[in-house]
Amino acid sequence: MNNRDFQIVVVDGKTLNPGDLSWDGFRSLGEVALYDGTSPAELLGRTASARAIITNKVRITAEAIGELPALEYIGVTATGYDVVDVAAARERRITVTNVPTYGTSSVAQMTMALLLELTQQVGHHDRAVKAGRWSKSDSFCFWDTPLVELAGRTMGIVGLGRIGRAVARLAAAFGMQVIAHTRTQDISGKWPNLPDDIRAVDIDTLFRTADVVSLHCPLSADTANLVDRDRLAMMKPTAYLINASRGPLVAEQDLRDALDQGVIAGAALDVLSSEPPPRDNVLLGAKNCIITPHIAWATLESRSRLLDISVANLQAHLQGNPQNVVH
């Protein structure tokens, strides 16, 4: 039942719900103030009496937390929760939750879509046909980029959580061999419960061996710029890089250089170091580089699950049994 004294402020709702989903789940729990987006200068004014803040990308800093005496809950409508100063929230005994599992299938699907675009160049050939080039052809078909079959090639997955494993299953369905590296190896270097069709390798072996390197690891001090000039130089000249995880995993100038110099065959990225990117981002003009605007998570089904779990997280908090609490 709606508690009119419990104010819920959604600070950037348009990111999750541009209008094709319902906010009624949150409205059933309290009075909802809904904003499409919120700037840092607007945050305190909009959340002054909030007991719950729902955010996707708006940063909730220690300074903001210190100025919001009524605040008891911060719900992040995403898996990553680095937008919240969790330590400051913990000190105030503010519950912080995230949504860890909503987008697995969508992100895995997008990963393969990016790979297929690299290998089949569907968009390029569609544009060529519509520009009249097929009509002018003296043959029943034409292509002007290499077309690459995936069967028999090696997919290298960095990070073997839910999404990494889902990508591994899809890659295997295409007939690819799958190798992987993850931080969750035990002291012997072995992985517990490793699927039979995935071979564990060290990170350098993965970059040297894989025909496709796909990144599915979290961003941390250890993984920032994981893909740099040295790692790119290890890759086969026919290899592809895919990043549908976090932009700063890749040293962007190093990747630009590698693409332009033919060190690797191509890259497909759904994330960049700064989003939206400035017009002078070095990768926007890179050779054989496909960039999509951070949409791997954004299918209707994925966003619907995300919203439903976000509501359930707040409801569990109100019932005194919080779930998906981050630490």
- 261-278: pLDDT as tens digits: 999 999 999 999 999 999
d(CA 156, CA 159): 10
Active site residue 294: yes
What's the pLDDT at 3?
77
Whether residues 186 and 236 fall in one domain: yes
Q: Is the pLDDT reported for residue 304 higher than 60?
A: yes
Instruction: List 52's β-bridge partners, or say none.
Output: 8, 73
d(CA 161, CA 217): 8
Determine, yes or no, domain membership for 116.
Answer: yes
Residue 89 belongs to domain spanning: 7-102+300-318
Q: Point out the catalytic residue in the list 51, 246, 256, 317.
A: 246
The band of 196, judged by pLDDT with boundaries at 50, 70 and 90, is confident
Whether residues 125 and 42 fall in one domain: no
Determine, yes or no, domain membership for 323.
Answer: no
Active site residue 199: no
Determine, yes or no, domain membership for 327.
Answer: no
Tell me the pLDDT tens digit for each residue of 227-259. Answer: 999 999 999 999 999 999 999 999 999 999 999
**CB proximity list for 307: less than 8 A, separation 6 or greater:** 16, 17, 21, 25, 77
Active site residue 67: no
Whether residues 57 and 155 fall in one domain: no
Q: How far is CA 254 from CA 80, 228, 261, 283, in A?
A: 25, 6, 11, 10
Whether residues 23 and 110 fall in one domain: no
What's the pLDDT at 184?
67
Report yes or no: 6 and 29 within 8 Å, Cβ to Cβ. Answer: yes
- CATH code, 168: 3.40.50.720
Determine, yes or no, domain membership for 1.
Answer: no
Whether residues 174 and 307 fall in one domain: no
Q: Give the count of domains, the chain.
A: 2
Determine, yes or no, domain membership for 325.
Answer: no
